Amino acid sequence: MSSRLVAGLLAAIAAAGVTAGALMESGLPAPPTQWAFIVIGLVLPALGWLLAVRRPRIPYVWLLLATAVCLGVGTFGVGLSQLDVAPAVVRVLVALFAVYYGLLWIFVPLLFPEGRLPSRRWRPVAWIGAVAIIVHFTGNLLIGPIPSARSGPLTPVDSADLVAGLASAVGQFVTWIITLVVLGGLVVRWRRAGSGERGQYAWMVAGMTVSIAGFVLLSFFIFGHATPLTGVVGVLVLLGSLPVAITVAVVRHRLLDVRIGIRGSRLHVVFDVRPTVGEMLTSLGTALEETPEPVEQLGRLAAAVRDGLEVRWAAVTLADGTRVVAGREEGGAALTLPVRGGLGRIECGPRDDERLTAADRRLLEALAVPAGLAIQSAGLAGRLVNAQEAERRRIERNIHDGVQQQLVALIAGLELARATGGGPDMLAELREQARQTLNDLRELAAGIHPSSLSQGGLVEAVEERCARLPVPTTVAASRELRAQRFPDEVEGAMYFTVSEAVTNALKHAAATKIEVHLARADGRLRATVTDDGRGFHPQAVRRRGLATLADRLDALGGGLDLDSGLGEGTRMNAWVPVDA
């Protein structure tokens, strides 16, 4: 059964019980005071239903509905007492008033505003309050009519009634004491609350104070010290103070992030809520999945922050200065949160009607994880684009400075041979130039994607690359790995990573020995390159070409790390995930 259906059923039971019980008690036509009782009695179930529909995962709204049900069922029991109904049934129903008062005075203010205790220190108070409510309810359930006067010793029935009445009185007295303790704690929480929550606690303190005052008025009437009108006012005040206070906290101070506003030219009243952290993360995750472009992902993230916090604008800024803004950026940032890892930051503009609160900051901190992923994705995409552009320029430069110049010289030589009738020596020289140009073209093509990699696979391509090195180099790989093939992007990334590592070992580390180990284990394809060169401090030296390859591996879900030290050689580990 859905939470919305359960909430509707509980609210309907409470509302029907209040209405039917009040009308059965007074009969029709009912006096105005009885109609006032019905109207005020419907506030709590209506409020509980509205909050449960919008915030079903918050325990506090179900506490309000449970309190409303106890009120409705108890009122219905009072109405049944006017009819020819079994006294035992009436007694059970009416006894629920003890639970209603206990929940209203102890747990509704104690668990305010989300259904959790303010701290662990309040656990004894909650347990004592719960026991007091149970004792009060049990005493009311078991007590029978007490005769006004009797003579002689007490009978067993009289003793049972006396014990039940004593239990009811003790439970009620302890409930009053705990109520005062809870009120004192509520005042302390109000004084310590931040600006965004102070108004909510203020209304709760006022509602509870007025409710206790209503009980005092009702007590004066019960003991014959006040007029019936005073008793009616006491009942109505006791009944409606806390529900009205909670309603005002919702309307004016967005209790539980619920907002009630007016939209459109026809003044439509809107009952809505700000999304919870879970709702924002879910919707943001879906939006990011549907948005492949990294910059557009940052825009979706900024828009989600702006809508979730209801601020004028929100911006996501990358570490390289890239900035995406949602809304019209007016005024300075009211809240700034750096994204972990120094990837960037999230900024929020001011809110129109009030300051941002600690709850807003917690919500923003919850968004830092997907924000970091989106920023990292955008930064990675940017680095890959830059790497591709740098590689394109390198190939263009190599063609211009090498093969293109050789072809120009070859063409000039052919023109000269044709003009002068060149002999065998000149033709032999031109043939050698053409052969060298062809070799250079093959080397250039191997730098882009070697044919051995396409034809023989990763191990064969790495062995061919290392065979041309001027220092002893060994390549170790299992027989099973030699026979396996992987996707082109995986083989290409691992090949060029190994190639860059051995090139660095020769050019920068002055290595005299290099070892390459290729393996596949635990769903990963790994490459380890070890040299005996001079080494370096990884924190003090940029990885240069390996940085681009690390981004390439990262894009495939893999990674790369270096282990080195001065005079200790270098060890590079690279890996990418592969199907098991």
**Higher-confidence position of 429 and 29:** 29
Range name among 215-224, 372-381, 476-485 with the lowest pLDDT average: 372-381
Beta-bridge partner residues of 325: 315
pTM, two decimals, is 0.52
Max mean pLDDT among 496-505, 524-533, 543-552 falls in 524-533
Give me the chain's average pLDDT, please. 80
Burial class, 96, CB count within 10 angstroms (exposed 0-12 / middle 13-18 / buried 19+): buried
**Higher-confidence position of 28 and 359:** 28
Q: For residue 224, give the H/E element and its range.
A: none
**Residue 107 contacts residue 50 (beta carbons within 8 Å):** no
pLDDT of residue 72: 94
Rounded mean pLDDT, 280-306 = 67
**Higher-confidence position of 519 and 492:** 519
Rounded mean pLDDT, 379-386 = 56
pLDDT of residue 116: 87
Instruction: Measure CA 174 to chain center.
Output: 41
pLDDT of residue 371: 63
What single DSSP character describes residue 216? H
Report d(CA 305, CA 297) in Å as an integer. 12
Long-range contacts made by residues 492-496, C-beta under 8 angstroms, separation at least 24?
Answer: 492/449, 492/453, 493/549, 493/552, 493/553, 493/556, 493/558, 493/576, 494/458, 494/518, 494/525, 494/527, 494/574, 494/576, 495/450, 495/453, 495/458, 495/461, 495/462, 495/465, 496/549, 496/552
**Residue 468 contacts residue 499 (beta carbons within 8 Å):** no
**Higher-confidence position of 343 and 569:** 569
Report d(CA 232, CA 230) in Å as an integer. 5
User: From start to end of 134-275, where are the E strands?
Assistant: 258-263, 268-273
**Residue 527 contacts residue 363 (beta carbons within 8 Å):** no
Rounded mean pLDDT, 305-334 = 81
- Is the pLDDT at 69 greater than 60? The verdict is yes
3-class state of residue 30 by DSSP: coil
Query: Residue 147: which pLDDT band, with cuts at 50, 70 and 90?
Result: very low
- Is the pLDDT at 112 greater than 70? The verdict is yes
- Is the pLDDT at 304 greater than 80? The verdict is no
Query: Residue 101: which pLDDT band, with cuts at 50, 70 and 90?
Result: very high
Rounded mean pLDDT, 311-315 = 86
Report d(CA 480, CA 474) in Å as an integer. 18
Report d(CA 543, CA 297) in Å as an integer. 29
**Higher-confidence position of 555 and 102:** 102
Rounded mean pLDDT, 494-520 = 87
Class of domain 273-378: alpha beta
**Residue 23 contacts residue 30 (beta carbons within 8 Å):** yes
Beta-bridge partner residues of 347: 315, 336
Peptide bond into 113 cis (omega under 30): yes
The percent of residues above 90 in pLDDT, for the chain, comes to 27
Report d(CA 285, CA 289) in Å as an integer. 6
**Higher-confidence position of 573 and 470:** 573
In tens, the pLDDT along 122-134 reads 999 999 999 999 9
**Higher-confidence position of 57 and 166:** 166
> Residue 544's closest CA among 571, 504, 491?
504
In tens, the pLDDT along 179-207 reads 999 999 999 999 887 766 788 899 999 99
Class of domain 379-446: mainly alpha
Max mean pLDDT among 235-239, 284-288, 353-357, 393-397 falls in 235-239
Range name among 86-90, 110-114, 310-314, 390-394 with the lowest pLDDT average: 390-394
Beta-bridge partner residues of 315: 325, 347
Rounded mean pLDDT, 473-501 = 87
Alpha helices in 457-487 (DSSP H): 458-467, 479-482
Query: Residue 150: which pLDDT band, with cuts at 50, 70 and 90?
Result: very low
Q: How far is CA 314 from CA 308, 366, 404, in A?
A: 10, 15, 52
Rounded mean pLDDT, 287-292 = 58
The percent of residues above 70 in pLDDT, for the chain, comes to 75
For the four alpha carbons of 146, 150, 153 and 157, in that order, the dihedral sign comes to negative
Which fold would CATH assign to domain 456-577?
Answer: Heat Shock Protein 90 (3.30.565)
pLDDT of residue 405: 56
Query: Residue 461: which pLDDT band, with cuts at 50, 70 and 90?
Result: confident
Report d(CA 82, CA 366) in Å as an integer. 56
Tell me the two tokens of residue 541.
Answer: 């030296």
Burial 218-247 (b: 16+ CB within 10 A, else e): beebeeeebeeeebbbbbbbbbbbbbbbbb
Label the pairing between strands 473-476 and 344-348.
unpaired
For the four alpha carbons of 357, 360, 366 and 370, in that order, the dihedral sign comes to negative
Rounded mean pLDDT, 153-162 = 60
pLDDT of residue 136: 93
pLDDT of residue 520: 92
> Residue 198's closest CA among 132, 255, 114?
255
